[in-house]
A and B are shown apart, each in its own frame.
Chain A
Amino acid sequence: MHRTLPSLSATLALATLAHAQAVPSGQDKLPPTQSNGMVAPLPPQGPLDQVAGQPNSQGTTFVTPGMPTMGLRVSSGQVTRFSNEFNPAFSFIIDSLAQVADNDTGNDGADVQLLSMELAANAWVDPNAWAYFVAVLEDESLAVEEAAIHYTGFGDKNRLRAGRFFIDFGKQMQVHVHELRTLERPLALRAFLGDEVKGDGVQWDSWTTAGDATAIRWSIGAFASTLPELDADADPAVTPVNELASPKNGDDFNFTARLTGFTEAGERGTLQLGTSARFIPNYEAQLDGATIDSDLSNTVYGVDATFGWVGETGVDSWTLGGELLISSGDTGVQLVGPNPANAADYSINGDSLMGYFAFAEYAWNRFNAVGTQFSQAELGDGDEQSEVELYYTRMFSEFHRLRFVLASNDSDFNGTSSRIALQYTAVLGAHGHGVNW
């Protein structure tokens, strides 16, 4: 199981699209009138109730004793292999980009590409749990980004999530790149955590109230790994990777925690403050199978703030925010010798690194918004990198979007690069990832 260090390379992003699940809201036909002149509620109707009203009517396939009954010990015969009444809600996202880039490294020119195609499905498993998966086709390979179940049966405001899912760190690491306001995830997050950080594990999530206008949420998670995946283009002979033990003992699991408060600021403003952490207690740096160093650990802390203001008609809005990040412990691998292919020529960077990002967005109506984001991160050994992005987003409707972006990146390693990009994103179907707040 090879994993790269957090990548500093550019990632390309997609769209934030509104979550729109319909609430069952009753019936439209007039119900019978009661003797008192009142309108009586209609009995339940619709496909689900029709099915539920005929218990076992569909039957399972014929089974003999000892053979599996629909794969589970409990079988009420609600579905056959041909039933489609209970199918999940599916969605597709198509994200594409046209850009012109000018880099000091010489990798200049124009390009048009399909950034990714996402397939997602959401469904209730039973009254106490719902599940979803997100698979993404990127660079001609299909990857399962998330596949998790939310168990809500504890009641009140507690929830357990299990499976593979994005870690709960700050506000922007929870979401897929295409859901961001910007073309890319902020540089500081990419530098310290990775383009996307998903893990196989469990997370406990809960919230409570504080007064009438404040909600406080916290989560803790344990994962097999929260290291970013190996870059498909990276050459393992010259690219150090981090590896986690497998199978593991307690020290080898990765942990996340987040505490955040969400309150109202004036008649039309909301303020959210949060703090997050990701712990990797024990990992090993390797180069093509040879150990560079072992018994390493890394912790990334973040403090975030977001302010939102919405005009009185709900049409115009401001959103301002940012996050300060500190990466401590063993923060990376540095080439100190002459030969990049030799593990002995690398050393571990033990300096704490700091980074941050800040953004501002103004939407003058539901369909048009402009914004900017600035991010800076220390890379170790005194080197830094910064990035600024200006964008205009035009929503044609809730389900497709065009974004015009000007972005510039200044790195002590790679010099300056800039680009002009046009991103088009479309959503087909009911899209939503069940994002935390």
Chain B
Amino acid sequence: MRLLQRLILLLLAIVLPWASARAERSPGDKLKVVATIPDLVDLVREVGGERVEVSTIARGKENLHNVIARPSHLVALSKADALVQIGLSLETAYIPGLLEGCGNPQVWPGGKGFINCSDGWEAIQVPVVLSRQGGDLHPQGNPHMNLDPRAGRHCVKRICDGLSKLAPEWQAEFEARRDAYLAKLEAPEKRWAALGEQFKGRKFVEYHQEYNYFAQHYGLALVANLEVKPGIPPTPNHLAEVIEKMKAEQCDVIVTALWSKNDFVQRVAEATGAKVVELPNMCGGIAGTDTWIEMMDVLHERLAKAFGIPLPEKPAPEAQKPTQKP
């Protein structure tokens, strides 16, 4: 019996490691890309077109700070040529563990396939002091840059650079697609800017610090957050202060994501008579937000409705389709 056990162990030790070897990509093969959020899936498709196969980890309705990693994520990352992330520690809840476990150094930070979309981005709310007294702080600043109206333009450039390094033979194609997408962005950006001008100075309360880039871009006035600090749930004292402040400042809009529309929000809304506006925090969570442009459209429109701002005419459906291969 003991001899048998030892033989089994020896066999396992010799044979099994070979089963886990990762197959290398051959030139001409599609790039396998894992994106951390659906927004980046859309942008990778815009740049990569038919040259990429891309999947997402987070799904549209989730709290991006609390995504639970699943087996398919580990498998996908172990086979991936590239990982595309927002960065700024947005994905800290799940990416470091997946990277540690996936055994694919190419997609680790510093690896050829690690594409960090926040590189070169000027973050806001960069903490001066790193202390847990500040809640779940992100050392590099507010990570929700995907909700900034300028983010699509920034991220496609990063993605194009990253994919081009991985597959230089397709660089010209990636760059052409990137340029086409940048051109496609011009019309919606004008549309958003027209609405955004009317956002200036409007007061709102949000649950989590998710829409701060958006607010800063248009000059919206953030009155308070329902969370005590980022990631720290509301306490009764804090809610009482928020209610008092909202009344004093005549703020009647509370902004939530799908994951954060909870009892605390309802309580404050009832106490203040404020409207609760459910906004997308990434693509796919709300109907009609499959692309980043659509998601930003919905974000602008819902907020405009909440503030009583009339909406401009909707764009023709053709303008919303993914960019075609040039």
Sort chain A's interface into a size bin: 35 or more
Q: Does B289 contact A (CB under 8 A)?
A: no
Give bound CA distance, A31 to B120, whole Å: 5
User: Looking across the interface, which residue of chain B has its beta carbon closest to that of A399?
Assistant: B132
Q: Which residues of B from 208 to 262 have beta carbons under 8 Å from A? A: 231-233, 258-259, 262
Q: How far is the CB of A48 from chain B (nearest CB, A)?
A: 11
Identify the interface centre among B79, B96, B118, B157: most chain A CB within 10 Å of its CB: B96
Identify the interface centre among A41, A215, A281: most chain B CB within 10 Å of its CB: A215
Q: How far is the CB of B206 from chain A (nearest CB, A)?
A: 16
Judging by beta carbons under 8 Å apart, are B71 and A29 in contact? no
Q: How far is the CB of A162 from chain B (nearest CB, A)?
A: 14
Q: Does B93 contact A (CB under 8 A)?
A: yes
Judging by beta carbons under 8 Å apart, are B68 and A25 in contact? no
Judging by beta carbons under 8 Å apart, are A209 and B262 in contact? no
Q: Does B176 contact A (CB under 8 A)?
A: no
User: Looking across the interface, which residue of chain B has its beta carbon closest to that of A272?
Assistant: B71
Judging by beta carbons under 8 Å apart, are B71 and A262 in contact? yes
Q: Which residues of A from 10 to 57 have beta carbons under 8 Å from B? A: 18-31, 38-42
Per the CB 8 Å criterion, the residue count for chain B at the interface is: 69
Q: Which of A22, A215, A250 contacts B74 (CB 8 A)?
A: A215
Judging by beta carbons under 8 Å apart, are B119 and A27 in contact? yes
Q: Which of B9, B70, B97 contacts A270 (CB 8 A)?
A: B70
A314-B67 contact in complex given A30-B120, A255-B5, C-beta closer than 8 Å: yes
Q: Which of B20, B126, B157, B233 contacts A207 (CB 8 A)?
A: B20
Q: How far is the CB of A313 from chain B (nearest CB, A)?
A: 4
Judging by beta carbons under 8 Å apart, are A206 and B16 in contact? yes
Q: Does B167 contact A (CB under 8 A)?
A: no
Q: How far is the CB of A46 from chain B (nearest CB, A)?
A: 11
Judging by beta carbons under 8 Å apart, are A314 and B62 in contact? yes
Q: Which residues of A from 194 to 216 have beta carbons under 8 Å from B? A: 204, 206-209, 211-215
Q: Does B116 contact A (CB under 8 A)?
A: yes
Q: How far is the CB of A267 from chain B (nearest CB, A)?
A: 9
Q: Which of B82-90, B192-200, B306-314, B318-326 contacts A (4 or more CB under 8 A)?
A: B82-90
Q: Which of B6, B78, B103, B136 contacts A398 (CB 8 A)?
A: B136
Contact mask for chain A residues 73-104; partner B; CB cutoff 8 A; 1 contact, 0 none: 00000000000000000000000000000000
Q: How far is the CB of A202 from chain B (nearest CB, A)?
A: 11
What is A's interface to B at a CB cutoff of 8 Å? Answer: 18-31, 38-42, 152, 154-158, 204, 206-209, 211-215, 218, 220, 250-251, 255, 257, 262-264, 270, 279, 281, 297, 308, 310, 312-315, 317, 365-367, 396-399, 434, 437
- Rank and list the top 7 A-B pairs by shortest CB-CB distance, nearest first: A25-B87, A157-B103, A26-B119, A313-B259, A314-B62, A213-B72, A157-B20
